[in-house]
Structure 1
Amino acid sequence: MNDYSLEESKVGGWPKLEWDGERTGPLQGVKVLDMSSVVLGPFATLQLADLGAEVIKVENAQGGGDIMRKAGDNPTGDLGPIYASLNRNKKSIALDAANPEDRAAILELAKEADVFFHNVRMAGMERLGLGYDDVKAANPDIVYVHCAGFGADGPYAKRQAYDDLIQAASGFAALFEMRDGGRPQYAPTLVADKVSGMFAANAVLAALLGRANGLGGQFVQVPMFECFTWFHMVENLWGNTYPPGNGKFAYTRSINPRRRPYPTKDGYIAIVPYADHQWERFFELAGRPGVFQDPRFSTYKARLENTTELYATIEESSATKTTDEWVELLDANNIPAMKYNRMADVFDDPHLQAVDFFEVREAKAGYSYRSIRHPVHYASTPASVYADPPSLDADRNEILGSSD
């Protein structure tokens, strides 16, 4: 029985939970041996850890652990801000897989694990004696998940992959060129890493479900290039969805250079009328009731074909009121709109404050840090933050003791 206190939130109907430091998620009882590092892999195993899985993070003893420990200012010297965000709820042990004794310890831990997870190139893992066949010999029922850069059957299989490389190769960086008419750009976030990490977490859950249904353990490869290309091409195949295609790539609305927050008297706002009646009402509220009767804007198809002109008209209208005036007015008329927040403003967003999205935690080591609440709500088996990000090798005794 999970021991937590429950009190109804006044916002959104979601329960607020006061945690006692215990795992409460639906993956309790699942053990993950995690040899991943940097962003993609840790982002995936973070989700599993938040959901209650026991995640044992095996870090490279020779290299000082996960490289993200040293990235960015931090009060401890080995808990860089990205590392701290991605590795809460995990246990750390530092081992050198090239050392026979440490390799044997990893395989011993694998015997008790449900999932063996890594984002090292497969040739390297096989040289270390930690390929799928090696781990399967130790645990025939293991779910072995390899986060690769590229699928094993293609000519890029042995190449290294990083977020920038995948944004460029997938065509994603070209969207900025198509939109702005200038040079291609990378999105200012590690979007390819994190999207691929979502695929990897989903792959773990699917393979565990298959095993629970009697299909046994298996080898699972999550190729970053293919995952991210799939992700962004869903809408951006556009005019080439049906062969032979018309040569037009990218969802018309997505790459329009005027698709951006609109100026107001005192800032910016996001406004997205969608249904016909919302568009008509928006222009009435803006004091321009005749705009919606313009044949360029009166139907969904026409609006797609004339998006640039439509967005320009919204910009002219939005500048007539303050942000707060627009938000109140549009909300009262059921027209989707949100205030534009700069990064620091997000901390003060009233909705995120009400749902306790950012929590300042006091670590046992004596420092405080912001923890981001797991965003998915489970009524019976809620996710939780029950452990601070670990210092390197912090859990050696507990981990090795539990493997005996």
Structure 2
Amino acid sequence: MKLDGLKVLDLSAFLPGPHMTMMMADHGADVIMVEPANGVGEPVREIGERTPDGWSVWFRNVARGKRSLKLNLKDPAGVELLLKLAEQADVFVEAFRPGVVTRLGVGYEAVSARNPKIVYCSISAFGQTGQHVQKPAHDLVVQAMTGLMDLGRGLSDGQPAAPGIAFADASSSLMALSAILMALYRREKTGEGDYIDMSMYDAAIAWTPNVLGPTFGKGVAPEPKKMRSFGGAAMNSIYPTSDGGFIVIGGSEVKFAENLLTALGRVDLLPYAKIPPGDEQEPLKAFFRETFASNTQAHWEEFLAPVDCCWAAVRNLKEAFDDPFTAERGMVFTDAEGNRHVGPPIRFAKEPPRPNPKLAEFGEHSVEIAREAGLSAAEAEALKGRGVI
């Protein structure tokens, strides 16, 4: 696998860091979860619904294939053990509030002094510099501050809504993975590691090019209901059906509009699909609203199946994961115990991922990992007895 032989120390929690390092584990990296010796460890071990075997679904889908080291970083012996492990590691990931790792003695300066080749990635809400550096935040706050939540205002009530996915978390996870792989590639040429300041705010802001037209072009805030991506275009909108379902038309290209309107017998409305999104397209939107509301979702799924245009019925997560196509793509798989997992999205023809569904008990590998750092069996057991590991 692509990352065989790579060792990763992961001090992060919740979603951005753990999801990223799980993707690395799926491709062969040895990922060590460094969990706080607080009796719980990774918080998502205890969050949300559980499968019948007792594991949290959230934990199962960010922690598979990793090893667990319980570690008390408030004890100097715990700090020294982590620094010894860092001497052997390739990647170090942390997601504390800025300044915490430095106070603990495991910041970039301390770690790189022991291993100049380390690629050290800090993931935080607002980065390591700037006026918001100490502001606490999770995904929802970041989406509010970046303007992304405002883009989700309802088309009728005008109210912002909580997003359906933790986009700031997800985008920072993907950006961090990209940055780490860039740094590892550069290390092959220079022999030097690097430090990555990954901000959830920065990552979310970076994904806005398709909605920035009004802001950069005219100096005004976007009006979502008039924009192509959010319902302003008749061919890029959501339409209720007669039975409470919804059909999404999601491609504004004229060729798709012509195909759909031909199938519906109203090609005379095609000129409205050729003008910019907004109120001027209302006659076409009104036709679609009336048309799709006249019959059931199942009817429209059958009707639209042969039409060459972008469309889909709105499904819930259960329906999406139960769709055989999801399994065909490897994006859901079942382990030997019958538990379902989200599959790895990164696949190579020559070295495909091999996700390991095994989950580590809290601190399961602490003694083993301490021995790998060079401690004797007696020293490792002594640290365990003191609660350091």
Same fold (TM over 0.5): yes
Task: Give the drift of 1:395.
Answer: 1.7
Amino acid in the other structure paired with 1:262: Y
Task: Report the counterpart of residue 80 of structure 2 in structure 1.
Answer: 104
Shift in CA distance, 372/77, structure 1 to aligned 2, threshold 3 Å: closer
Shift in CA distance, 95/48, structure 1 to aligned 2, threshold 3 Å: same
Task: Report the counterpart of residue 397 of structure 1 in structure 2.
Answer: 367
Question: TM-score, normalised on structure 2?
Answer: 0.86
Are the aligned partners of 2:327 and 2:333 in contact in 1 as well (CA < 8 Å)? no
Amino acid in the other structure paired with 1:396: S
Aligned length: 369
Structure 2, unaligned runs of 5 or more: 375-389
SS in 1 for 2:203: helix
Task: Report the counterpart of residue 70 of structure 2 in structure 1.
Answer: 94
Question: TM-score, normalised on structure 1?
Answer: 0.83
Shift in CA distance, 393/309, structure 1 to aligned 2, threshold 3 Å: farther
Task: Report the counterpart of residue 263 of structure 1 in structure 2.
Answer: 240
SS in 2 for 1:175: helix
SS in 2 for 1:332: coil
CA distance in 2, matches of 1:277, 1:383: 38
Query: Alpha-carbon deviations, 1:160-194, whole Å to 9, x = none?
Result: 22112101111112123374443322203222112
SS in 2 for 1:386: coil
SS in 1 for 2:267: coil
CA distance in 1, matches of 2:289, 2:315: 18
SS in 2 for 1:86: helix
Task: Report the counterpart of residue 98 of structure 2 in structure 1.
Answer: 122
Task: Report the counterpart of residue 240 of structure 1 in structure 2.
Answer: 215
SS in 1 for 2:229: coil
Task: Report the counterpart of residue 170 of structure 2 in structure 1.
Answer: 194
Amino acid in the other structure paired with 1:202: S
Q: Determine whether 1:337 maps to 2:307.
A: no
Task: Report the counterpart of residue 189 of structure 2 in structure 1.
Answer: 213
Shift in CA distance, 180/344, structure 1 to aligned 2, threshold 3 Å: same
CA distance in 2, matches of 1:65, 1:382: 31
With 219-228 and 169-178 compared, the bigger mean Cα shift is at: 169-178
Partner residue of 1:36 out of 12, 30, 36: 12
CA distance in 2, matches of 1:55, 1:128: 21
Are the aligned partners of 1:115 and 1:142 in contact in 2 as well (CA < 8 Å)? yes
Query: Alpha-carbon deviations, 1:271-322, whole Å to 9, x = none?
Result: 2343323212211211223221xx433x2x3455634543332232334555
Matches within 5 A, 1:156-195: 156-177=132-153, 179-195=155-171
CA distance in 2, matches of 1:225, 1:152: 11
Are the aligned partners of 1:147 and 1:224 in contact in 2 as well (CA < 8 Å)? yes
Task: Report the counterpart of residue 252 of structure 2 in structure 1.
Answer: 274
Task: Report the counterpart of residue 283 of structure 1 in structure 2.
Answer: 261
**Identity across aligned pairs (percent)?**
28
Q: Determine whether 1:375 maps to 2:350.
A: no
Are the aligned partners of 2:127 and 2:199 in contact in 1 as well (CA < 8 Å)? yes
Task: Give the drift of 1:122.
Answer: 3.1
Partner residue of 1:310 out of 271, 284, 288: 284
CA distance in 1, matches of 2:282, 2:13: 43
Query: Alpha-carbon deviations, 1:88-110, whole Å to 9, x = none?
Result: 12111100111111111111110
Shift in CA distance, 402/64, structure 1 to aligned 2, threshold 3 Å: same
CA distance in 2, matches of 1:86, 1:111: 25
Shift in CA distance, 134/303, structure 1 to aligned 2, threshold 3 Å: closer
Amino acid in the other structure paired with 1:392: F
Are the aligned partners of 1:286 and 1:318 in contact in 2 as well (CA < 8 Å)? no
Task: Report the counterpart of residue 73 of structure 1 in structure 2.
Answer: 49
Matches within 5 A, 1:296-307: 296-297=272-273, 299=274, 301-303=275-277, 306-307=280-281
Task: Give the drift of 1:204.
Answer: 1.0
With 136-145 and 168-177 compared, the bigger mean Cα shift is at: 168-177
SS in 2 for 1:109: helix
How big is the alpha-carbon RMSD for the aligned residues of Structure 1 and Structure 2? 2.5
With 171-180 and 258-267 compared, the bigger mean Cα shift is at: 258-267
With 257-266 and 33-42 compared, the bigger mean Cα shift is at: 257-266
Task: Give the drift of 1:116.
Answer: 0.8
Shift in CA distance, 183/315, structure 1 to aligned 2, threshold 3 Å: closer
Amino acid in the other structure paired with 1:384: R
Partner residue of 2:222 out of 249, 259, 262: 249
Partner residue of 2:122 out of 114, 134, 146: 146
